[in-house]
Amino acid sequence: MRAPQSSASLKRKGAKRKSYDRVLIVCEGEKTEPHYLREVQKALSLSATNFRIVDCKEAGGTAPQTIVEAAIAQFAADRDYDRVYCVIDRDGHTTFDAAVDRVRSKKLRKGPEAATPGFATFEVIRSLPCFEFWILLHYEFTTHAYTNSGATIRRLKTHAEMAAYEKANTTLFSRTRHRLFGRNGAFARSRQVHAACERDGATAPLTDIDKLLRDLISIANKTEKELVNLWGSAD
């Protein structure tokens, strides 16, 4: 794992944090999720000094538990973060459940240099089976229990706009953001999927990417109406 970047190093470079929360996101993916989230960052005008994304290459591996431990190490090197997220897929990983439990039991205490005292928010952003299930919800509502990413991607590609979908796409968010809001949007469908899982006592499929995006929208102090005007709506 690459040595974490400390707040001291940022200060030496002359970087100055903005007044809103500093966010650290550690991703299981090397390209797909980081590219998508950097697009979100740009679309919401979130400053790079407040927003850091670590991919699996920098984290030292793709296993969910590796991602979580990398996030803890990154925070330990810079305890001025207000929010820390671990973006992980279930797919075929054997350490998924242990990684989820680790995040839910771990407390991240901020350092004395932090702008606000106390503990950072530490959350796991799950996708079962994979990140592409979130993209699929932009095009259809489904509670089908896809067993792996391959099956999910094959279904995603049946939709004309996603027929040529490939991982590591650098424009995925901008191509799909008009399908986030509205009664038939991905946000609404993800809520329906979570409700179905709770009702049926199921654990999959589901995704928490909607939760992460809503948090980032809140940090950016944007309203749904404002973003619908900018990005469009599924309705």
DSSP code of 89?
A: E
Asked if the model's pLDDT at residue 178 lies above 80, the reply is yes
Looking at mean pLDDT, say which of 4-8, 17-21, 186-190 comes out highest. 186-190
- Alpha carbon distance 198, 127 (integer Å): 16
Task: State the Rg of the chain over Cα.
Answer: 18
Asked if the model's pLDDT at residue 170 lies above 50, the reply is yes
Q: Give the mean pLDDT of 164-176.
A: 96
pLDDT score, position 113: 85
Q: What's phi and psi for 50, nearest 5 deg?
A: -105, -5
pLDDT score, position 203: 87
Q: Give the mean pLDDT of 207-224.
A: 98
If pLDDT is split at 50, 70 and 90, which confidence band does 4 have? low
Asked if the model's pLDDT at residue 230 lies above 80, the reply is yes
Q: Give the mean pLDDT of 152-174.
A: 97
DSSP code of 177?
A: G
* Selected residue with higher pLDDT from 187 and 4: 187
Asked if the model's pLDDT at residue 10 lies above 50, the reply is no
The average confidence (pLDDT) of the chain is 93
Q: Give the mean pLDDT of 20-39.
A: 97
Q: Give the mean pLDDT of 62-82.
A: 97
**Ramachandran quadrant class, 159 (left: phi over 0; alpha: psi -120 to 50; beta: rest):** beta
pLDDT score, position 8: 47
Q: Give the mean pLDDT of 130-159.
A: 97
Residue written as token pair 């990983």: 93
Q: Are strands 51-54 and 23-27 parallel, antiparallel or unpaired?
A: parallel
pLDDT score, position 193: 97
Q: Which residues of 87-111 are buried (b: 16+ CB within 10 A; e: fewer)?
A: bbbbbebeebeebbebbeeeebebe
- Alpha carbon distance 138, 16 (integer Å): 36
Q: Give the mean pLDDT of 18-25.
A: 94
CA dihedral 59, 61, 62, 63 (to 10 degrees): -110
pLDDT score, position 94: 94
pLDDT score, position 18: 83
Asked if the model's pLDDT at residue 87 lies above 60, the reply is yes
